[in-house]
């Protein structure tokens, strides 16, 4: 009986020392959902850009400029001062006003709805298109930007008046640019 009990204990010990086997998922995803989502977003962006180009084509009196960052703009008030060549760079503090409307021109946030804002270039939260657009401006200029939704408020909108995936137009007036070193010195003096 002792031999039989010993054999059972040994058999259990041998069987229990077996290395663990990998468990495989019941269903495997091939990543097709992500591929479909990417394709859907590309189509949506292409449709928005085509629509913006159509609206620009209807307004032949305005000279639109295409930005390297994927949006369009025109000058309402361009600086003619040949000495005024400075545009904001990383860390500079800019003071600006802006209004937002639909691509067709219907006001979403009219002039005066948003207070004058001070913004440290690329150091604070601001929607992508406006952040990139401010870097193109000089003091005293007013520029109207046409942003596809992915450069504006994207899928989530602004949680107030701008809905999901809405292209927008933003009219921006840049009042001042304070260089990073200058703004740091003023802060220390105060």
In a domain, 172, yes or no: yes
Global pTM? 0.77
Q: Do residues 29 and 98 touch, judged by C-beta distance below 8 A? A: no
150 is in which domain, residue-wise? 64-79+87-189
C-alpha 172/C-alpha 97 separation (Å) is: 6
In a domain, 36, yes or no: no
Q: Fill in the DSSP letter of residue 100.
A: E
Other Cβ atoms less than 10 A from the Cβ of 66: the count is: 11
Number of domains in the chain: 1
Q: Do residues 75 and 133 touch, judged by C-beta distance below 8 A? A: no
Q: Residue 92 belongs to a domain with what CATH number?
A: 3.10.50.40
Tens-level pLDDT at each residue, the chain (190 residues): 777 777 787 777 766 666 777 777 776 566 678 888 899 999 999 999 999 999 999 999 999 999 999 999 999 999 887 777 899 999 999 999 999 999 999 999 999 888 999 999 999 999 999 999 999 999 999 999 999 999 999 999 998 999 999 999 999 999 999 987 654 545 444 4
């Amino acid at each position: 009986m002792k031999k039989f009990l010993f054999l059972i204990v040994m058999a259990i010990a041998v069987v229990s020392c077996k290395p663990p086997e990998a468990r495989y998922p019941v269903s495997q995803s091939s990543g097709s959902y992500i591929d479909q989502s990417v394709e859907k977003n590309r189509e949506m962006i292409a449709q928005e850009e085509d629509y913006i180009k159509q609206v620009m084509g209807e307004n032949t009196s305005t000279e639109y400029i295409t930005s390297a960052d994927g949006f369009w703009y025109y000058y309402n008030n361009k600086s003619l001062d040949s000495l005024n060549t400075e545009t904001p760079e990383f860390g500079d503090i800019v003071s600006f006003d802006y209004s937002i409307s639909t691509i067709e021109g219907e006001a979403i946030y009219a002039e005066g709805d948003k207070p004058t804002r001070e913004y440290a270039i690329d150091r604070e939260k601001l929607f992508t298109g406006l952040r990139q657009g401010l870097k193109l401006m000089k003091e005293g200029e007013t520029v109207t930007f046409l942003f596809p939704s992915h450069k504006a408020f994207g899928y989530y909108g602004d949680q107030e008046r701008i809905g999901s995936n809405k292209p927008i137009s933003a009219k921006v007036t840049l009042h001042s640019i304070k260089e990073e070193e200058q703004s740091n010195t003023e802060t220390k003096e105060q």
